[in-house]
Amino acid sequence: MMRRKLVAGNWKMNGSLATLAELDAIAQAAAAAPGVDVAIAVPFTLIHPAAVRAPGLAIGAEDVHEAESGAHTGCVSAAMVREAGASFTIAGHSERRADQGETSHDAWAKAAAAHRQGLNVILCCGETEAERDAGRAERVVQAQIEKSVPDHADGRWFTLAYEPRWAIGTGRTPTLDEIAAIHAIARAKLRHMIGDAADGVRILYGGSVVGGNAGDILATDNVDGALVGGASLTAAKFVPIIEAAARI
């Protein structure tokens, strides 16, 4: 099945009203690459101004709470980010797993809550360095998928992102064979869980993607796009990744 490439940025806890100016050139590059979907997740406070400034880009949240509303001080619901202009959210990012103790079950609940509000979801999985060194990367990713992918997931709203934790922000990436192996296993696991719908689900690779390695990574089997952290913060670094996706 033909799956459109998706290049998604994740600004994490970076950015300001001033840096939204980067979106102008990113939106231009996205418009010049009609075969590629381009999305950017930004801090909650920037969702609305980003959506207003760049209506041609998919703007998203980096997380949502699993409840619809209620006494959860400091948290933000899927309905709130949708009202602010988000069309998608990330769920289960490894930094939330590490910093906030989120589990795969939490990621599942957040993905389901986001879908109930009509948001698309990029759900993250990925092993630690110790797990990879112990030869457990495949089993860890399979278990995360098993516990976090909602039953009714399909490619119209659901995207999986494989992000080995040791590759995030480090400048280190797995080999292309290692990426292909995990993506094939992830696809097989999705097929086991959701049947033929798995063929429509995009599986992104994330972890130290930059302009220089994007072409090779995006051309790897079962890699349907990239989830980009550091290199999504400026148009100068992000646009080459969009252009690499457009050349595939």
Ligand X SMILES: O=C[C@H](O)COP(=O)(O)O
Residues 6+ apart with CB under 8 A from 18: none
Nearer to ligand X, 15 or 230 (CB): 230
Longest dimension (CA), the chain: 48
| 104 labeled part of a ligand binding site | no
Interface characters, 72-101, with ligand X (x: CB under 6 A): ---------------------x--------
Nearer to ligand X, 109 or 226 (CB): 226
**Kind plus residue range of the DSSP H or E element containing 176:** helix 176-194
Nearer to ligand X, 62 or 194 (CB): 62
Q: Which of 150, 155, 164, 230 binds ligand X (CB under 6 A)?
A: 230
Residue 202 sits at φ, ψ, to 5 deg, of -80, 140
Nearer to ligand X, 96 or 194 (CB): 96
Task: Please count the CA atoms within 13 angstroms of the CA of 79 that sit on its side-chain side.
Answer: 5
| 101 labeled part of a ligand binding site | no
Catalytic site includes residue 163: yes
Classify 229 as helix, strand or coil: coil
Active-site residue identified among 22, 66, 93, 95: 93
Cα–Cα distance for residue pair 229/220, rounded to 1 Å: 20
CB of residue 39 vs ligand X: minimum separation in angstroms? 12
Q: Closest Cα partner for 90 from 172, 168, 166, 187?
A: 168
**Which residue's entry shows tokens 């995990």?**
182
Residue list 151-210, contact with ligand X (CB under 6 A): 163, 168-169, 206-209
Q: Which of 5, 6, 7, 10 binds ligand X (CB under 6 A)?
A: 10
Stretch that binds ligand X, among 20-28, 190-198, 225-233, 240-248 (CB under 6 A): 225-233
Nearer to ligand X, 56 or 169 (CB): 169
| 229 labeled part of a ligand binding site | yes
- Count Cβ atoms below 10 Å from residue 71 Cβ, excluding itself: 6
Catalytic site includes residue 115: no
In the numeric block, which tokens belong to residue 236? 């100068």
Cα–Cα distance for residue pair 206/232, rounded to 1 Å: 12
In which region does residue 171 sit, left (phi positive, over 0), alpha (psi from -120 to 50) or beta (all else)? left
- The residues binding ligand X (CB under 6 A) are 10, 93, 163, 168-169, 206-209, 227-231
Residues annotated as binding site?
A: 10-12, 169, 208, 229-230
Binding site, annotated residues for substrate: 10-12, 169, 208, 229-230
